[in-house]
């Protein structure tokens, strides 16, 4: 017998098998007409897909049979129905937790669940799912607001800003940054600061780092180890990566020595990015770990106070159990984005496998970075995701690459396939007020959650040119553009959008550290309201 599912309209044809603990299994589903089948490699299994739900937005849906998992069967199960019933069960369970903590059941989520149960009896499954998703959304937000009210402010959370706008943004960009952000991320992308062999532009990074040091702003260097399909894969160092592993490893280690010895302990943290998720040179697990281990020794030697983050996307690890190269929708998406087909060692391990191996090798991981740009998760799914990672590793968590648009469609400027238009939606098509609402709701949840220490705006500005002119004419010139269309909180002229003012307001209400406050405190001055 197998696991058989009736296919629904999912994003990129995604269906993934998990064990009962939500660890993905490398057992690819076979698409046969309107059915997808999985070999019964587990006695009980859970399944996940990604879909757009009319009346709600993009969502991640687990079918888990009320957390008991499913047995193999000759019956073709209805994924939408099973996923809907499974989410209903978990939201009800969450409302029980809510009542135990706060002494009451929130009225609107409870009413939405009753409405959903009526719709399920009428076989209106999709409409029921929308109401269940909304119930979870509202319950988590209310729970977060109550927790903040009871707990009060905390001093270990910051809004984090990506500095990729500093070079061309002038004083206005710097002032906007100082008023909101208490931490910074500086991209150190190898193929962008060394566009040609023997040519280096690390002065751009050091300019940002020195400014942050001057203002007493903690900084993460992103990414000390990362090999992108674009920035490195198609650049001069790609020849070493494909033909000379030892020579490539030496280049990576020497680069780390140069960066960290030039400014010892100036980086509060650095990250190893997307381990085996981005792997253009098809390194094996052992090869990748060997590079990470040698760079880790460089960190400990040249910048011993610097902490290490492992930063990654695909936070439910679905790509480990999903055959990108065999699903036409996934291949078409990658082609449109300029990405090659996956190499055999891409997704050959999950991030937990990598983290466990780091521990075995003596690499101390201090922070987990969840990129959070794969989809606009509903708050309930986000809560489950954060609890999963925190419960497994008990490490601080940062949301590291938040990219939420203020408008649909494409900007007036593009270079290759960058920036990328976002078609996933949340509640309704994106506009500036919805972007503000997203930041308010999700920031409230993150701030209420003790293990989460930061939310990062990955593109502060929509401005089309960043990082100076030295990349002009180079294939990596497109890095000067932001990642996604309209995802800045400043517009193309660096005028603040409503989301910027929302973050500034929350930073003030929660008394978060900002660059402005950190500078004043370091000078011994008094902050003014």
Helices (H) and strands (E) in the chain, counts: 15, 15
Instruction: Among 151, 170, 198, identify where a domain stops.
Output: 151
Considering the domain boundaries, does residue 348 fall inside one? Answer: no
390-397 own/partner pairs: CB under 8 Å, 24+ apart: 390/451, 392/352, 393/355, 393/365, 393/368, 394/451, 395/365, 395/366, 395/367, 395/368, 395/451, 396/366, 396/367, 396/368, 396/451, 396/452, 396/453, 397/367, 397/368, 397/369, 397/370, 397/451, 397/452, 397/453
Output the domain CATH number for residue 505. Answer: 3.20.20.80
pLDDT value for 488: 95
- Among 101, 128, 151, where does a domain finish? 151
Which ranges of the chain have pLDDT less than 70? 376, 526-529
Say if residue 474 is in the same domain as residue 491: yes
Residue burial 276-287, b: 16+ Cβ < 10 Å; e: rest: bbbbbbebebeb
Nearest to 224 by CA among 261, 199, 182: 261
pLDDT at residue 361 in the model: 98
Q: Does the residue 510 lie in any domain? A: yes
Query: Which CA distances in Å does 390 have to 161, 331, 360, 380?
Result: 23, 33, 20, 15
- On whether both 206 and 294 belong to a single domain, the answer is yes
Which residues are CB-contacts of 323 (< 8 A; sequence separation ≥ 6)?
Answer: 28
Asked if residue 44 and residue 101 are part of one domain, the reply reads yes
Last residue of a domain, one of 151, 175, 197: 151
- 391 by Cβ neighbours in 10 Å (0-12 / 13-18 / 19+) ranks as exposed
Q: pTM of whole model > 0.85?
A: yes
Residues 186 and 51 in one domain: no
Residue 184 CA to residue 219 CA, distance in Å, equals: 5
- Residues 297 and 407 both lie in one domain: yes
State whether 114 and 188 are in the same domain. Answer: no
The reply to whether 258 and 379 lie within a common domain is yes
Residues 162 and 146 in one domain: no
| Structural domain harbouring 298 | 158-326+357-522
Q: What is the pLDDT of residues 70-129, one digit of tens each?
A: 999 999 999 999 999 999 999 999 999 999 999 999 999 999 999 999 999 999 999 999
Nearest-angstrom CA–CA distance, 319 and 270 = 25
CB under 8 Å to 12, separation ≥6 — which residues?
50, 327, 329, 330, 333
CA angle 281, 283, 286 (to 5 degrees): 165
Q: Are 118 and 6 in a shared domain?
A: yes
**Does 342 map to a domain?**
no
Total count of domains within the chain: 2
**453 is a domain residue:** yes
Distance, in Å, from the CA atom of 401 to the CA atom of 513, rounded to the nearest integer, reads 20
Residues 279 and 312 in one domain: yes
Residue 426: what pLDDT?
85
In a domain, 291, yes or no: yes
Residue 314 CA to residue 320 CA, distance in Å, equals 9
- Inside any domain, residue 105: yes
Do 63 and 106 share a structural domain? yes
Q: Does 254 fall in a domain? A: yes
Please check whether residue 278 is in contact with residue 229, taking contact to mean a CB–CB distance below 8 angstroms.
yes
Q: Does 139 fall in a domain?
A: yes
Residues 289 and 427 reside in one and the same domain = yes
Contacts of 125 (CB under 8 A, 6+ apart): 78, 80, 81, 84, 119
């Amino acid at each position: 017998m197998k696991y058989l599912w009736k296919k629904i309209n999912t994003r990129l044809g995604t269906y993934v098998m998990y064990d009962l603990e939500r660890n993905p299994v490398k057992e690819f589903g076979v698409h046969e007409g309107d059915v997808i089948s999985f070999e019964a490699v587990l006695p009980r299994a859970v399944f996940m897909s990604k879909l757009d739900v009319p009346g709600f937005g993009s969502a991640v849906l687990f079918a888990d049979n009320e957390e008991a998992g499913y047995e193999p069967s000759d019956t073709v199960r209805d994924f939408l129905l099973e996923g809907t019933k499974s989410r209903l069960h978990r939201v009800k369970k969450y409302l029980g937790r809510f009542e135990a903590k706060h002494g009451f059941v929130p009225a609107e989520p409870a009413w939405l669940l009753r409405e959903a149960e009526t719709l399920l009896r009428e076989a209106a499954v999709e409409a029921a799912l929308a109401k269940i998703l909304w119930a979870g959304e509202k319950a988590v937000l209310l729970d977060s607001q109550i927790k903040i009210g009871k707990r009060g402010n905390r001093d270990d959370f910051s809004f984090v800003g990506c500095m990729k706008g500093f070079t061309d943004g002038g004083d206005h960009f710097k002032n906007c940054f100082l008023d909101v952000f208490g931490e910074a991320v500086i991209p150190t992308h190898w193929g962008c600061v060394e566009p040609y062999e023997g040519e280096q532009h690390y002065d751009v990074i050091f300019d940002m780092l020195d400014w942050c040091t001057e203002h007493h702003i903690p900084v993460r260097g992103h990414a000390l180890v990362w090999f992108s399909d674009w920035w490195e894969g198609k650049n001069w160092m790609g020849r070493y990566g494909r033909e000379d592993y030892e020579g490539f490893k030496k280049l990576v280690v020497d680069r780390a020595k140069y960066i960290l010895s030039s400014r010892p302990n100036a980086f509060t943290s650095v990250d190893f990015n997307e381990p085996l998720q981005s792997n253009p040179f098809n390194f094996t697990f052992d090869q990748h770990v060997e590079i990470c281990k040698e760079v880790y020794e460089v960190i400990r030697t040249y910048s011993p106070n610097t902490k290490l983050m492992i930063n990654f996307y695909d936070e439910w690890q679905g790509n480990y159990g999903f055959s990108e190269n065999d699903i036409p929708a996934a291949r078409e998406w990658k082609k449109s984005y300029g990405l090659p087909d996956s190499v055999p060692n891409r997704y050959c391990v999950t991030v937990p496998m990598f983290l466990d191996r780091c521990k075995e090798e003596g690499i101390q991981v201090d922070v987990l970075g969840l990129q959070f740009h794969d989809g606009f998760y509903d708050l309930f799914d986000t809560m489950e995701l954060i609890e999963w990672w925190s419960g497994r590793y008990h490490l601080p968590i940062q949301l590291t690459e938040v990219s939420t648009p203020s408008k649909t469609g494409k900007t007036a400027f593009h270079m290759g396939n960058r920036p990328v238009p976002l078609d996933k939606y949340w509640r309704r098509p994106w506009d500036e007020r919805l972007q503000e609402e997203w930041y308010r709701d999700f920031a409230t949840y993150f701030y209420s959650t003790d293990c989460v220490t930061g939310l990062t705006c990955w593109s502060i500005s929509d401005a089309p040119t960043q990082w100076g002119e030295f990349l002009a004419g180079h294939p990596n010139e497109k890095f000067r553009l932001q990642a996604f269309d309209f995802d800045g909180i400043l517009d193309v002229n660096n005028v603040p959008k409503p989301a910027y003012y929302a973050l500034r307001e929350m930073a003030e209400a929660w008394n978060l550290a900002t660059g402005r406050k950190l500078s004043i405190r370091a000078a011994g001055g008094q902050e003014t309201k």
